[in-house]
Structure 1
Amino acid sequence: MEERHNKLISRRIDLAVTLVITMFFVLIITFSYGEFNKSMTNVFIILFVMIGAVVGYYTNITAAIFYSIIFNFLYASINIYLNLANIYNIGFEIYFWMVAVPLFSIIFAYKGKILKEIQSENCALKKENEELVMIDKETQLRGSQTFFDELQSYMNISNRYGIEVYLMLIKIKYHNEIIRVLGEAKYKKIINRISQIIDSVLREEDRKYILRNMDMFGIIFLSNKDGGKYVEKRLKEAICSTEFKEDYLINRIKLEIITGIVIYDKNIINNPYDFFRMAEKDMEYDV
């Protein structure tokens, strides 16, 4: 089905390009052998042809048709008046332009429409691919796509085997202000460094996520009742004490994080979203 769709789009592009080339060829032949170049009026009308093509390409077919109607109405009205006043006789070139201007405008509008559709589809596919990617390319942590599904899996493990499951959320304090002061590029360096620290401090079997759409990190891990606070303390110390020796500006800012940590309780938490909201709520008390 997708291959058929791609072939159809390809044929539409080929048709539009072929029509454009053909029309320019006809225009060149007409000017070369039709003696259109002897009249300055015809040379001037080419400007309207190009304007119609640009209007059509950057807007839509409706705008191209509207432009063509206005041009034909004005052009025909002027020539009818000149003919009635015996100033100018209606010749072949008048009919030619009344057909050429709409054709150029509509064909370029059609070509622009196809290209816009391809661009929109390409953006949608890129977004879809990014959402399907499990591992974040920059940080090598897991993305947010599988976060809630895996959180549910850990909740099921806890229910079945009675193992303590923790959810910890980490957010950079004043992250909006840091972006405004340092810019996106340096903020990205901070994110990458924190990701490295999280990956090095925690165990291989712990689930580590970067939740970019929520500007935070998520961690799911198994531990005893006192282990969660110990992990939280270690991470805070490691992140807040990190230095950016290669970047003086970042190093001048005191990096602080806000954390929220919750242990799974099946009597209170019914689904992964409740679990997440409780951890998010716990962040409010980390001041």
Structure 2
Amino acid sequence: MEVKKLDIWIIVLAILTYGVVNWFVLLPKDNYLENTLLLSAMFAIAVLSYLTGLMIALCASAVCIFFYGSYVMYGSVMLGEGIESHVYYWLVLLPLIAVITAFIGNLIRTIQKENLRMRERYSDYVTIDENTGLENARVFYAVLGQYISLSKRYELPLSVMLVRLDYYDDIRGIVGNEAMKDVVAWIGKRLGESTRNEDSGYILEDGRTFALLLLGNPDGAHVVKNRIKENIYEYDLQRAAKVVTVRLDMRIGITAYDPEENPDALSLRRAAEKDMEFDV
């Protein structure tokens, strides 16, 4: 609805501006300086009303009308000059332009605020990382909580693995920001190929750390760890006409869920991060 109103007001403004410009050309040249100043004042009021709002725009146009009206009255009373028809046109056009541009400015700001609000709400519901296709940290914690409940109830072995790319900033400095997205996407794909269908992978909030939920004991998790390090070691970047080989060092931490300790999702992540420190 707001967009339709904006379209209508823009069309009205375009038609009015077209008419004013053509009318200005047809005005007598005797009052050229006066009309030029008023035309400039009209466009200045239009810009001001668009940026500020209706009240300030009306005040500005009222001030302009007051001084112009005083000038016309002085010429009529003191000098005996007649009041020509173009004077009335300017007295109508100045507040009319102010009102139209103020409405347009308010509608655009309303649409911008709504767009920002919708983008914020959209970001709250987004669960898939656009670059890698992996689910994000919000889903990771939700699914990990479900896995903990299943592991506790059915005594299923559960392991949490964190995979972090070392020297992330250095590699990004070598390959560039855009190519770094390809590197991260390539890592995410390799992680998916290194795990089973029942396992799940996620990319965490820092963009350089991945999480894997593995339904299996720590021995099986270490097998996956070795497989990941074999699959993710070097990345061949096609840059310009030559291939640049970038060595990727991964630091991996593993922790197993212990029903007796009954840790929560954050505790399991901290334990995996602590184990990551010993991966050399």
TM-score, length of structure 1 as denominator length: 0.77
Question: C-alpha distance in 1, partners of 2:13/2:97?
Answer: 8
Query: 5+ unaligned residues in a row in structure 1: which ranges?
Result: 1-7
Q: Tell me the alpha carbon deviations over residues 26-59 of structure 1, each in whole angstroms, 9 at most, x when there is no partner.
A: 63675477x4665212133222222332333345
Query: 5+ unaligned residues in a row in structure 2: which ranges?
Result: none
**2:234 alignment partner, one of 231, 234, 242:** 242
Q: Is the 8 A contact 1:169 1:280 kept in 2?
A: yes
1:130 positional shift: 5.0
Q: 1:98 to 1:178 in 2, by over 3 A?
A: farther
Which residue of structure 1 lines up, in the alignment, with residue 46 of structure 2?
53
1:202 positional shift: 1.0
1:156 positional shift: 0.7
* More divergent stretch after superposition (242-251 vs 152-161): 242-251
Q: 1:60 to 1:230 in 2, by over 3 A?
A: farther
Q: Tell me the alpha carbon deviations over residues 193-242 of structure 1, each in whole angstroms, 9 at most, x when there is no partner.
A: 10111011111211111235554222111111322233223223322x22
Q: Is the 8 A contact 1:245 1:251 kept in 2?
A: yes
Find out whether 1:208 has 2:201 as its counterpart: yes
| Aligned-residue RMSD, C-alpha | 3.5
Which residue of structure 2 lines up, in the alignment, with residue 20 of structure 1?
13
Q: 1:251 to 1:81 in 2, by over 3 A?
A: same
Q: 1:272 to 1:79 in 2, by over 3 A?
A: farther
The letter of the residue matching 1:243 is: Y
Which residue of structure 2 lines up, in the alignment, with residue 3 of structure 1?
none
1:164 positional shift: 1.9
TM-score, length of structure 2 as denominator length: 0.79
Find out whether 1:39 has 2:31 as its counterpart: yes
How much identity, in percent, do the aligned residues show?
27
**1:139 alignment partner, one of 106, 111, 132:** 132
Question: C-alpha distance in 2, partners of 1:69/1:262?
Answer: 73
The letter of the residue matching 2:210 is: F
* More divergent stretch after superposition (111-120 vs 127-136): 127-136
Question: C-alpha distance in 2, partners of 1:164/1:123?
Answer: 44
Q: 1:84 to 1:200 in 2, by over 3 A?
A: same
Q: 1:224 to 1:107 in 2, by over 3 A?
A: same
Which residue of structure 2 lines up, in the alignment, with residue 160 of structure 1?
153
Which residue of structure 2 lines up, in the alignment, with residue 151 of structure 1?
144
Q: Secondary structure at the match of 2:147?
A: helix
Q: Is the 8 A contact 1:269 1:275 kept in 2?
A: no
The letter of the residue matching 1:206 is: D
Find out whether 1:265 has 2:268 as its counterpart: no
